Structure 1
Amino acid sequence: MLTGEELAYYEADDGSILGLLIRDRADRDFAGMAFGPDAKLRFRWTSMTDFFESRELAHDALEKLITSLLDEPDEFHHQGDEKGEPVDFFTPVHSPEVLHPDFQQVASELGFFPARGIIEHMMRWHEDLDGNFVEQFQSTAFDQRIWELYLFAMLIELGFSLDATHAVPDFIGTSLFGSIAIEAVTVGPTRRGAELVPPPPVETEEQMEAYLRDYMPIKFGSPLFSKLRNKYWDKKQIAGMPLVFAIADFSSPGSMIHTRPALERYLYGYSFDAVRDEQGRTVAEPVKIIEHRWGDKVIPSGFFNIPESENISAIISTTAGTISKFNRMGILAGFDAGDVLMIRTGTLVDIDPEATSPLLFEAIVNAKGYHESWVEGLNVYHNPRAIIPLAEHIIPGAAHHHCDAEGNWTTTAPRFHPLASSTKILGGVNVAKALADFEGSAIRFGRIN
């Protein structure tokens, strides 16, 4: 990142060798780098061309280099520092009746070929410090492990080098912009013994409001409070670093699409009513929340006001930490299933200061102009009482939210910031025709009537 500007990426026809064309930032000359699979099947640098004055000469030299490497034995790319066997996410380690149904679907169905492709290759870099990641990914904790894989991918995308020597907290990363420690948290379904307790109905507006006002804040509060009691900030390996809890909602199928407001209410202890000011403009008026009550459960509102929460720099969350994200990113990475079309629909922030509802969007993931990043849609909720504040520039590309003790809310967000989305998978589709029917655009927008 400091010395070379990445210009273009290539691969051999069989995908066994990867190439990178770079320009030296200081000398402004060009070179090509080649990457081959090491003993753990991770693509790593093995050789490069000379430097050239033109991009074209470097490109031609890189093409010759990749062609020559096809004749080398596999051992040519081994580095000598590999330990253990290659990570294999999809070969079952359990009997069929033990496998998680979502894992079985991802591992076998054509519509999830892009997700399989990107997970299989990229996650060979994931270090299983606990020793049970693959086993749980396939059985009892599919959603939780997907959430951790998302966080891993997001941190790598942002240029973090991860500490592979400590299992606690889940991630310790250092980038050119600073360091961060992250502990993953998930909200699971309510259980009574071995029995799953269904969530309350949300069929009416009143039911949905109660669900977001009290039920889900309590659901978010339970795992966050449990994590707080572990006192991760006392760990020597993260001394002086901002500590962040990364929470994802898997309390019921698709629940994360709706529950962002509930998390915001619980973290800061405020809700907001849309009112008109003296000039007739729509403004948000903060309303203080004292507690959340559901049945016989009562918790105080405002996680950031709990004693010792000042040791938590921020809470991060996104509705996109699911297998659908990996499916879309797999398409963008070139793991195309051919006749599988993906249509993404959702809501995003309306940058109009007078807007009281989000924009709608619809996108063809397969379209040439479609773009998405891992950090897209990530929300960072900063703790106003943090002992070690989290600088916004450490997580670029996310939406950063601040709320003070009086309920004054400020947000800095990218121009395109999805709030929630869903992805429809259509098999057996003429993708070229579908793209033409979409009027040649990768994405289109609309407003809620």
Structure 2
Amino acid sequence: MPIDLFRPLTTAEKQHPIFKMMLKNGFEPERDVLLQWANGFEDRDGKFVKEFQTTFESSFWELYLFAALKEWGLPVDLRYHTPDFLVGGSVPFCLEATIANPPVGGQPAYGFSQVDLPANFTEFNVESTLRICNSFDSKVKKYRTNYSKLVHVQNKPFVIGIASFDRPHAHFASGRPILAALYGMYHDEEATQFGDTRVPSYNVSAAPKTQNTHIDVGLFCDDSYPEISAVIYSSLATWGKVRALADNPRAMTAYTTLHPNHGSIMPIVRGAMKKDYSENLMDGLFVLHNPFAKHPLPRGLLGHPRLCEVTIADDGELIMEAPDDFLLLRMLNSIIPV
């Protein structure tokens, strides 16, 4: 029986602002996108729909990953409610979803305005990296204390899916924080000079949490986390993704997207109105491999023409396979009739 995402289970006061907005007239195409993602999904613990309606982001990310698994053509065994997905196919693996949340007392990733634009992108990227590391670490601990004891998990690759919802404009981070968190690849925005053809980058082993405390990064640079085979990451699997995929050509929405511009630090900028804009489910998605994994995820198993797959060569070089027009950033400006 299909799950009913949009039959309210709580009062309006307890509903997440984005869910509440989706219930309004005019958002039928966006609701259809989410119902397509949820097709075949089961509320195994009986809490999913209520959490989708009240806290939204973590459930939304889980639905996105389920849709991505269908796009990859991979079957999911829904008999188990932990970890999130037991994936079949030629190489069965487990996938656990998590999100990077705001720090305690921090602003959420919704309801922001232009005054919340990052003033310092170096600080913005460092903080985003820390939030990703925290989410990664919590799932590793859960694997070691819980998941590793489950028979259906043992001797299989284990993948963590992480999405950034840690602050206003979290999507601006693109791939910067995940590359720093997993491979210690730090891009120094402040060191960039006029006329440079690339942002200076170098390897780091830690990021400052406070003046006296540092958090380890480069999590895939040694054998500290052999249990984790890979990470699936996106900063663009957001409400904007749903708007982009919705069949709603009459929507008064302007899309601005950024794409790599080889040989220049200035990205290629494209603009289009909704009726002329198209986007793939997998645009903006990263699959990042751990070279020290005990059970490696085969390269290409989660390949797709629209995503970026990251591996490390034997000599330590970071190899990023992505389309030339890989989606770095998407921004929407909408006029919504009242």
Q: TM-score, normalised by structure 1?
A: 0.64
Matched, 1:392 2:299: yes
Equivalent residue number for residue 59 of structure 2: 145
Structure 1 position 88, deviation (Å): 1.2
Match for 1:257 among 172, 178, 195? Answer: 172
What are the residue-to-residue correspondences of 1:77-116 with 2, within 5 Å?
86-110=2-26, 112-116=27-31
Question: Quick check: 1:190–1:197 contact (8 Å CA) kept in 2?
Answer: yes
Q: Deviations over 1:128-174 (max 9, x none)?
A: 112101101111x2011111111111111121111111111111222
- Give 3-state SS (helix, strand or coil) of 1:345's partner: strand
Equivalent residue number for residue 78 of structure 2: 164
Equivalent residue number for residue 181 of structure 1: 94
Match for 1:330 among 246, 250, 253? Answer: 246
What are the residue-to-residue correspondences of 1:152-231 with 2, within 5 Å?
152-175=66-89, 178-191=91-104, 196-198=105-107, 203-204=118-119, 207-213=120-126, 215-231=127-143
Equivalent residue number for residue 374 of structure 1: 281
The CA distance in 2 between the partners of 1:307 and 1:385, in whole Å, is 5
Structure 1 position 422, deviation (Å): 2.0
Equivalent residue number for residue 348 of structure 1: 259
The CA distance in 1 between the partners of 2:171 and 2:269, in whole Å, is 17
* Matched residue type, 1:395: L
Question: Quick check: 2:37–2:66 contact (8 Å CA) kept in 1?
Answer: no
Question: Quick check: 1:314–1:382 contact (8 Å CA) kept in 2?
Answer: yes
Structure 1 pair 168/410, CA: closer, same or farther in 2 (3 Å)? same
Matched, 1:241 2:156: yes
Question: Quick check: 1:114–1:328 contact (8 Å CA) kept in 2?
Answer: no
Match for 2:335 among 426, 442, 449? Answer: 426
- Give 3-state SS (helix, strand or coil) of 2:220's partner: helix
What are the residue-to-residue correspondences of 1:271-420 with 2, within 5 Å?
271-272=186-187, 287-295=202-210, 296-305=212-221, 308-331=224-247, 336=248, 339-350=250-261, 352=262, 354-367=263-276, 370-397=277-304, 398-403=307-312, 408-420=317-329
Question: Quick check: 2:259–2:327 contact (8 Å CA) kept in 1?
Answer: yes
Give unmatched runs, 5+ long, in structure 1: 1-39, 41-85, 276-280, 429-449
The CA distance in 2 between the partners of 1:260 and 1:283, in whole Å, is 15
Question: Quick check: 1:187–1:223 contact (8 Å CA) kept in 2?
Answer: yes
Q: Deviations over 1:325-353 (max 9, x none)?
A: 1222221xxxx3x6323332121223x3x
Equivalent residue number for residue 51 of structure 2: 136
Structure 1 pair 328/210, CA: closer, same or farther in 2 (3 Å)? closer
Q: TM-score, normalised by structure 2?
A: 0.84
The CA distance in 1 between the partners of 2:329 and 2:198, in whole Å, is 23
**CA RMSD of the aligned region, Å?**
2.8
Give unmatched runs, 5+ long, in structure 2: 109-115
Question: Quick check: 1:202–1:208 contact (8 Å CA) kept in 2?
Answer: no
The CA distance in 2 between the partners of 1:356 and 1:252, in whole Å, is 25
The CA distance in 2 between the partners of 1:373 and 1:203, in whole Å, is 27
Equivalent residue number for residue 112 of structure 2: none
Structure 1 pair 324/404, CA: closer, same or farther in 2 (3 Å)? same
Higher relative strand content:
1
Structure 1 position 269, deviation (Å): 1.8
Structure 1 position 413, deviation (Å): 0.8
Question: Quick check: 1:187–1:248 contact (8 Å CA) kept in 2?
Answer: yes
- Give 3-state SS (helix, strand or coil) of 1:128's partner: coil
Higher RCO (Cα < 8 Å, 6 or more apart) = 2
Structure 1 position 310, deviation (Å): 1.3
What are the residue-to-residue correspondences of 1:42-61 with 2, within 5 Å?
none
Structure 1 position 308, deviation (Å): 4.6
* Matched residue type, 1:330: A
The CA distance in 1 between the partners of 2:274 and 2:66, in whole Å, is 22
% identity of equivalent residues: 25
Which has the greater radius of gyration?
A: 1
Structure 1 position 283, deviation (Å): 7.3
Equivalent residue number for residue 74 of structure 1: none
Structure 1 position 372, deviation (Å): 2.7
Question: Quick check: 1:286–1:407 contact (8 Å CA) kept in 2?
Answer: no
